[in-house]
Amino acid sequence: LTVLGIESSCDDTSAAVVRWRKETGGEILSNVVSGQTELHAAFGGVVPEIAARAHAEKLDLMVEAALRDARVTLKELDAIAVTAGPGLIGGVLSGVMCAKGLAAGAGLPLVGVNHLAGHALTPRLTDGLGFPYLMLLVSGGHCQFLIVESPDRFHRLGGTIDDAPGEAFDKTARLLGLEQPGGPEVEQAAVAGNSKRFPFPRPLLDRPGCDMSFSGLKTALLRARDACIKREQGLREQDRADLCASFQAAVADVLAEKSRRALAAYLALNPPVPMMAVAGGVAANNLIRARLEAVCTEQGTGFVAPPLALCTDNAGMIAWAGIERFRRGETDDLTLSARPRWPLDTRQAAMLGSGK
């Protein structure tokens, strides 16, 4: 079973070919990703119109490159999988139109994929995880705990009620004059810092449940930065390092404690092989990774973090999620529509009136 995947929901244009065999499982034959960081740099964030146009311009080239790298022709494919949401509507539409054109032209089945399902199912491709497992999806736009029960059943235990941690890392970098994306820069600067110097808040830790909040952290950081600047008439290197380290420690504390609670809810289901996995760009952070792994070890649960290139946005995960749907006999036709909002949790989706 060989599937082409297409991803264009945010600021990465990507195409990939993934093959599944019963004996060996999933194998990524190609996975090409083209980012747009430079296009949006001057605007301090992703501009939806610019993103959509760039996707439309690049998609054909990316598909060609993915097929070439995989040494596969369109005729040898079994299906075409595409991100149908959630995301920036212009970008999602570009991908869906491209996929429909290819599917109609080559007479192939089309499989619409939820971008978040792509992230959440990645550990099955990389590590062959069985259901159910606990997933922490922590990226630039999302932060949630999910119990992954099947390719289309996700039970949301909680998540951020405001900003995503990646967004907070990016804002912190901006406030401290560091480059974008901010995560790696803040992590780097934190190495030389004292994480105990600034007692930043750990929001919602005093409340039960798995919900989190990261927007207050940003305000606290801004105040602490301004106090430093006022005192020293500028931001000293050591202040910057201490601010980064203290900020990172606060995020890690919140994610670790809430993971402990999510894990308790998950373990109550008595899973045959207890496993927790992470996905999303923030999973690249070494401190956060180590803290989550420690929580899992303490609870006797396995911990899986897919390689970074498969944690961030890529079409390999979309092709894989497409394979999972296709193997269950689920496909879409050319009426497949793009959905800017599309929660994974089935009950939440029903509340939005978007059952299908």
Could you list the residues known to form a binding site for Fe cation, using ranges. Answer: 115, 119, 313
By CB under 6 A, tell whether 275 contacts ligand ATP: no
By CB under 5 A, tell whether 187 contacts Fe ion: no
β 12-21/110-114 pair status: unpaired
| Helix, strand, coil in percent for the chain, rounding step 5 | 50, 20, 30
Q: How far is the CB of 180 from ligand ATP (least distance, A)?
A: 8
- The number of residues that bind ligand ATP (CB under 6 A) is 21
Q: Which is nearer to Fe ion, 118 or 151 (CB)?
A: 118
Binding mask 171-190 for ligand ATP (x = CB under 6 A): ----------xxxx--x---
Give the CA distances from residue 71 to residues 64, 79, 120, 136, 285, in Å, rounded to whole numbers and listed in that order: 10, 16, 28, 34, 34
Binding mask 286-315 for Fe ion (x = CB under 5 A): ---------------------------x--
- Cis status of the peptide bond prior to 132, with omega within 30 of 0: yes
Q: How far is the CB of 62 from ligand ATP (least distance, A)?
A: 16
By CB under 6 A, tell whether 10 contacts ligand ATP: yes
Helix crossing, 115-127 with 315-327: angle to 10°?
80
Cβ contact 217:247 at 8 Å:
yes
Give the CA distances from residue 29 to residues 3, 17, 69, 315, in Å, rounded to whole numbers and listed in that order: 10, 5, 7, 12
- Which residue type is seen at 214? F
285 binds, options ligand ATP, Fe ion, none, Cβ within 5 to 8 A by partner type? ligand ATP
29 binds, options Fe ion, ligand ATP, none, Cβ within 5 to 8 A by partner type? none
The DSSP string of 286-303 is HHHHHHHHHHHHHTT-EE
Q: How far is the CB of 246 from Fe ion (least distance, A)?
A: 27
Q: Which is nearer to ligand ATP, 141 or 203 (CB)?
A: 141
Among positions 131-160, residues that touch ligand ATP (CB under 6 A) are: 139-142
Q: Which residue is nearest to Fe ion (CB)?
A: 313
Q: How far is CA 7 from the centre of its chain?
A: 12
Q: Which is nearer to Fe ion, 11 or 313 (CB)?
A: 313
By CB under 6 A, tell whether 217 contacts ligand ATP: no
Cβ contact 193:242 at 8 Å:
yes
By CB under 5 A, tell whether 239 contacts Fe ion: no
Q: How far is the CB of 210 from Fe ion (least distance, A)?
A: 20
Q: Which is nearer to ligand ATP, 187 or 239 (CB)?
A: 187
By CB under 6 A, tell whether 90 contacts ligand ATP: no
65 half-sphere exposure, CB direction, 13 A CA radius: 14
C-alpha 32/C-alpha 15 separation (Å) is 6
- The residues facing 25 across adjacent strands are 21
Q: How far is the CB of 170 from ligand ATP (least distance, A)?
A: 5
By CB under 6 A, tell whether 284 contacts ligand ATP: yes
Helix crossing, 182-190 with 286-298: angle to 10°?
80
Per CB under 6 A, residues contacting ligand ATP are 10, 139-142, 166-167, 169-170, 181-184, 187, 280-282, 284-285, 312-313
